[in-house]
Structure 1
């Protein structure tokens, strides 16, 4: 009897499915996409309705052959790739390659990998959604047109190896424009006035000046501040107003892809790519001992906040049982659908509440446990009671109502010359905050005050009562107040903050640029291309190269690389998915203005190239005819003769990377080599080191004791790597070695004895590939890459305590 073939993307997903499907099913993995546009060709027939020319990805030919053989032995074929556009496209390509005998190929989809969801989907297979396929194809063609054609011109105008992207370049534009705002920003001086308020029966508290003669206060210099301080010292003060109110706070909606990325960045410090990689593993399945592989969360690529009624009911039962009915919301809480939401999938939530974070912790990596706990708490919080706070505002008046302050403003009836304010808040009932608290201690227990500037005496004993200390104090309007030690603090307005990964994701999502499922790749590409970098506060700043590329693209393609146009294209792709628009028409609408820009760009290429160059005014010392100019190269800016290639003179850049070198720090030690210079601390590609300040006349260098430096061409210790060789039967170890030119590589100790060819330029780590099972992967920047199938995953060194 012929078996039934089920095809998924990854071995991890296949392993989880094998627990739920019978022995008559053969489960195979496609290892992601198996067919795509060729890398080194446009492969889009513009004259023939933008027809794409797909080829089998070279590294997937073996996989395709194996899938074809499995299909030949199978009577039925089920494609169970992910339930989104990319998954639908993979299914469509698989069907094309496997349908030699025109056999029926069924499409199955599930939002979670649980027994019930999988078996239910297998009982009701459907057809491949051509609307989704067309939407993905339109996006792929659009991205290829931009990526191939614009990148080609960037190579010719700026430097080889650069890239542009339909969405990537708009994300870069946001970062660059924010940096320009910061550069243009001119700080303005202002002063904050505070005083200590002393009221009988109450602990002294701090009040801040908020209004002057009935108007919002703005004090711009020291002279004005001193005049105000003089008034506050002289004028009588009294309690002007005391307001108490109880406020309720509703829990946030369950996670979408975008909000998960934002919160994981903010609360856990995860890069966006890392979040998606960890979430993928939680979705596809984790080995939970005797229970086997279990999919712990629902599909993580979604923009919907919808929750299945069964999941909501299970959450409510869990809350009532574990926390009590006081912590349960009065009725099931659902969240409204917003504008562009596709709503094809549920929000991200745990698949089964029996798998509590503590129960599965022994089976999870630290990063998996932290992200799962975040998802678990957010989901349960949606069905918990509101948090209740008591908010108190105390206003203190200085001077009589209607009097004018000495700073020149006219007095206003009903308003004192100066009004000072203190505020505070106290948690009355934690509600959902018991699980989803702010990152402060304030929500640890009911009744714990977050008093801010106010003493506890101003707060009631509960939602309505008064505390004993408050009852003894006279807190009525008009009660006399002494203002002690008034003081002014000089401040300056601050520029807008740079984006973090979290706030950039939020901006992209709110502006409708791209899809949250693509944000991880977009941000990673900006780093990989050296267009942006993280500063010490993990904020995103454009490099000089990023600014150069963005300024050029925005100037020459402003109608394409702008927020509104990109958002409209995203809406058009949604319409294609809903079968409301034809994908060819969407691409054509994009192509016409894009082609006009491209033609104009090509005509101006010489002029643009000259604009990118930075002329130094120095004559070339080699040929004597040319002028030295700063150009962009693979490793940043360098100085070369403008007669290149006739003259190939170049100079090393003055500093590593894009930024000018920082002033070298003196050590006071004489150079042990030349005896004339002094050793200074410099920073290069591999970290800080000591060198002679007479460089390049004296090239002495020395490591700084205790300073961590990357090993590289300069020397230094080899990385400590000792891993089993992945070659079957070899028995050797992978260790770090150095070429005769000083470059580090990693190879097998049996390379001579057994002629073992295993070697890597990048550092290997013992992290098996989740796609193909290869025993190790290599670290490339902030990614783990499988040497066998090229699968990529976000990578950050785990802290030592994790």
Structure 2
């Protein structure tokens, strides 16, 4: 019997596909990418052998030679690329080669986007042999019908799509490797730039700049509570005075209006009713799935894509990286049959609902939808509750998109009171349509008073309310993805990478689900705007995405695009390397202050680094390294702890303005007697202001911390992931985090070995550990074995003599519930407390108990 090899990216995908293919197919996984461009690390040994300090001449040519060896591509020789097998993938490639030599044909069944096309090409290159032996198969969903259809239409690797992926990869590589040394020299060590990520940082940084310089303005709104003739209440808003828009800006104008209206009759001048319909939004594409998941489920973009990948690999949804709202006839037919059977003919439109694709839709894929509409809720234990919630969101959106429109009655009422006009707009649902499945969040009036022109309304109350204008809101992950999509920056496959990378690199942070630009992100944006205008320009980046699409469509040659990009980029890079006086990139200089160093008495300066803003002694720059003063003082942003100040009404008087450039200032806490206000344009602007007084300090600064391990003192540090205390003893390395509320985290639980409790998946035994989700059992051979589970209460009771006092109470909990099911210890991440629950046949029973007032209380049965 002839055999064929099928190669996919993930083991889960391989397992699912294997169910639909016969015994003549061998399905194997490459576990993602198998090779990449060479890296600095992979070439380090070779470089040391070939180059030495004695034979390196500091010329531009030799610098380029070294650079080419580091990045693996040669822009000076027709973009020749040097690839290497990724570490850890050698055995996988070796095994695939052995099987490839034993089969008659090889099917490359990687994902259907450009990245998947590139993986297929890399696999063919590393396996080698006759190209005629390879075929490319693509499918939008992992179902028997789709798999069979894909293998019947097996084709060849689309090299134009591979070229588009390579062009993107090469440009990103050039930018990252060639700018980073410059940024390290001019700004700070550890800083880097990305071709698309830097644009995302700019979007957040520009919004931050607007918010910080926003000056709130006072305005008022007047609502009037009225009664109709049938005694029904109606609330209306004052909109005009003398037929002009009414915008009262102070209390005097409001009082005048109130007195006038108190003496007036309220007469209905206009009453309009209109019927309109609202269709459901389209089925999800990648960006809208990420947005809805963030808004409705609270999932990050990265988590959403991880869960969607799992759902796709398990065969539950269609491919999750798409910007097309197209639905196949087969899918529409299944949806319409389901709607008719379960909701009735009233909810089924006469013709299917069709949605137009976006202008620059990259692929002719389907929208994200369930593979089998009959599966409304996933019952499989292979997926966690988060994945099941995401699936439910996708299922609801797909079904709703094929249902009838919602029918509304729109009511507009105009009431006159002397010179003032009052207005009321309302919507009344006449038929719920697709909202039967997808509930709208907006308030809808279910009933309305019967009114007609000339009706007299009786006044009950006039309610004035003071308001202040607000700046544009900060971006959430959902709104940032929407903004990137709107500007044409990035593609469905890149949104998750963009949002996670800019956080990982410390240029932005997320606080209460909103993006805040860090100081280093703001500085980087300003420097790149001046020295690399194209790189951080919205239109340039968006046009490059369209250019990559043209490469994939064979409308333009990929190397000519790279040549043009590299030529312009190199010019900007050479100019940026010059001194600031010659037009080069501005330095991230230290701004001197009048604050004296407590160690050497020299002045201290404001310094910006990847860890944040701090004061550094200017004595550190002393030419004689032995006499350098290394004293630094942490600056704590007032936004991080002064909640009361943030809740006050912001007014012009409370905003500190720089005397040099009149921009707003960032405020920092030094100690209980000093605050420092720094111009937001620092270090370009050297303006600062010292405020003296008696100030309330953050909670974590008012406590003396002693290391629980070695009893030495712990000192405050600020790192890439926030503030923390660290033991002064270098060999100890004990740390304590600063929690968002300003409190210091409890000491970490030291791992407790439980050699008597054996793992099921390996020969290892369990160790009790503590993480962000409380205590748990983990294999002692981690990371070789990643087996983990929750501890049973009976196990903690059995070994309670091993437990520290901190968690000793958990061993006193009930070991079974009322039905005899064994209980386990779980952790609530919102309340930060452990609780006890039970499971039956792997599912939670709904029973739970909390430790309240030193005793266990059953709260759910």
* Cα distance in 1, alignment partners of residues 788 and 93 from structure 2: 28
Matched, 1:766 2:741: no
Note the C-alpha offset of 1:655.
Answer: 4.1
Matched, 1:301 2:310: no
Q: Deviations over 1:221-263 (max 9, x none)?
A: 1111111112111223211111112221101111110111111
Matched, 1:336 2:356: yes
Judge conservation of contact 2:406–2:431 (CA < 8 Å) in 1. yes
Q: Which residue of 1 aligns with 2:592?
A: 615
Q: Which residue of 2 aligns with 1:367?
A: 386
Judge conservation of contact 2:611–2:718 (CA < 8 Å) in 1. no
Matched, 1:732 2:758: no
Q: Which residue of 1 aligns with 2:466?
A: 490
The change in CA–CA distance for 1:394 and 1:623 in structure 2 (over 3 A counts) is closer
Q: Give secondary structure in 1 for the equivalent of 2:157.
A: coil
Q: Deviations over 1:192-243 (max 9, x none)?
A: 1122223322323221101111122111111111111121112232111111
Note the C-alpha offset of 1:62.
Answer: 2.0
Deviates more, 1:345-354 or 1:650-659: 650-659
Judge conservation of contact 1:238–1:478 (CA < 8 Å) in 2. yes
Q: Give secondary structure in 2 for the equivalent of 1:202.
A: coil
Note the C-alpha offset of 1:2.
Answer: 5.6
Q: Deviations over 1:107-166 (max 9, x none)?
A: 111111001111111122100001110000000001001111112222222222222110
User: Can you give the 5+ residue segments of structure 1 that lack an aligned partner in the other structure?
Assistant: 286-294, 400-416, 443-448, 459-469, 674-680, 692-700, 739-743, 750-755, 768-795
**Which runs of structure 2 are paired with 1:136-155 in the superposition (5 Å)?**
136-155=165-184
Q: Deviations over 1:485-539 (max 9, x none)?
A: 3232111111100000000000101110011221111111111111111122x11
**Which runs of structure 2 are paired with 1:108-123 in the superposition (5 Å)?**
108-123=137-152
Matched, 1:26 2:21: no
Judge conservation of contact 2:759–2:779 (CA < 8 Å) in 1. no
Judge conservation of contact 1:280–1:300 (CA < 8 Å) in 2. yes
Q: Give secondary structure in 2 for the equivalent of 1:585.
A: helix
* Cα distance in 2, alignment partners of residues 666 and 165 from structure 1: 38
Q: Give secondary structure in 2 for the equivalent of 1:193.
A: strand
Q: Which residue of 2 aligns with 1:216?
A: 245
Larger RCO (CA within 8 A; separation ≥ 6): 1
Q: Give secondary structure in 2 for the equivalent of 1:354.
A: coil
Q: Deviations over 1:273-295 (max 9, x none)?
A: 1110000011011xxxxxxxxx0
TM-score, structure 2 as length reference: 0.73
TM-score, structure 1 as length reference: 0.78
User: How many residues end up aligned between the 2 structures?
Assistant: 685
Q: Which residue of 2 aligns with 1:588?
A: 563
* Cα distance in 1, alignment partners of residues 722 and 576 from structure 2: 40
Report the aligned-residue RMSD: 3.7
**Which runs of structure 2 are paired with 1:227-238 in the superposition (5 Å)?**
227-238=256-267
The change in CA–CA distance for 1:421 and 1:718 in structure 2 (over 3 A counts) is farther
Matching residue within 579, 583, 586 for 2:554? 579
Q: Which residue of 1 aligns with 2:405?
A: 386
Q: Give secondary structure in 2 for the equivalent of 1:275.
A: helix
The change in CA–CA distance for 1:636 and 1:320 in structure 2 (over 3 A counts) is same
**Which runs of structure 2 are paired with 1:177-188 in the superposition (5 Å)?**
177-188=206-217
* Cα distance in 2, alignment partners of residues 15 and 61 from structure 1: 22
The change in CA–CA distance for 1:716 and 1:116 in structure 2 (over 3 A counts) is closer
Q: Give secondary structure in 2 for the equivalent of 1:205.
A: strand
* Cα distance in 2, alignment partners of residues 116 and 507 from structure 1: 37
Matched, 1:568 2:543: yes
Q: Which residue of 1 aligns with 2:510?
A: 534
Judge conservation of contact 2:35–2:86 (CA < 8 Å) in 1. yes
Note the C-alpha offset of 1:563.
Answer: 0.5
Matched, 1:58 2:37: no
Matched, 1:197 2:226: yes
Note the C-alpha offset of 1:423.
Answer: 2.5
Q: Give secondary structure in 1 for the equivalent of 2:118.
A: helix
Q: Which residue of 2 aligns with 1:431?
A: 433
The change in CA–CA distance for 1:169 and 1:431 in structure 2 (over 3 A counts) is same
Judge conservation of contact 2:71–2:174 (CA < 8 Å) in 1. yes
* Cα distance in 1, alignment partners of residues 560 and 768 from structure 2: 55
Note the C-alpha offset of 1:188.
Answer: 1.2
Note the C-alpha offset of 1:684.
Answer: 7.8
The change in CA–CA distance for 1:747 and 1:300 in structure 2 (over 3 A counts) is closer
Q: Which residue of 2 aligns with 1:405?
A: none
Q: Which residue of 2 aligns with 1:98?
A: 127
Note the C-alpha offset of 1:5.
Answer: 0.7
Q: Which residue of 1 aligns with 2:77?
A: 48
Q: Which residue of 1 aligns with 2:3?
A: 3
Matched, 1:598 2:573: yes
Judge conservation of contact 1:278–1:367 (CA < 8 Å) in 2. yes
Q: Give secondary structure in 1 for the equivalent of 2:506.
A: coil
* Cα distance in 2, alignment partners of residues 689 and 60 from structure 1: 37
The change in CA–CA distance for 1:151 and 1:376 in structure 2 (over 3 A counts) is same
Q: Which residue of 1 aligns with 2:38?
A: 38
Q: Deviations over 1:706-735 (max 9, x none)?
A: 998546xxx553478989899996533345
The change in CA–CA distance for 1:722 and 1:325 in structure 2 (over 3 A counts) is farther
Judge conservation of contact 2:506–2:610 (CA < 8 Å) in 1. no
Q: Give secondary structure in 1 for the equivalent of 2:272.
A: strand
* Cα distance in 1, alignment partners of residues 705 and 122 from structure 2: 66
* Cα distance in 1, alignment partners of residues 596 and 12 from structure 2: 62
The change in CA–CA distance for 1:656 and 1:71 in structure 2 (over 3 A counts) is farther
Judge conservation of contact 1:190–1:491 (CA < 8 Å) in 2. yes
* Cα distance in 2, alignment partners of residues 262 and 186 from structure 1: 30
Judge conservation of contact 2:737–2:745 (CA < 8 Å) in 1. no
* Cα distance in 1, alignment partners of residues 396 and 259 from structure 2: 53
Note the C-alpha offset of 1:476.
Answer: 2.8
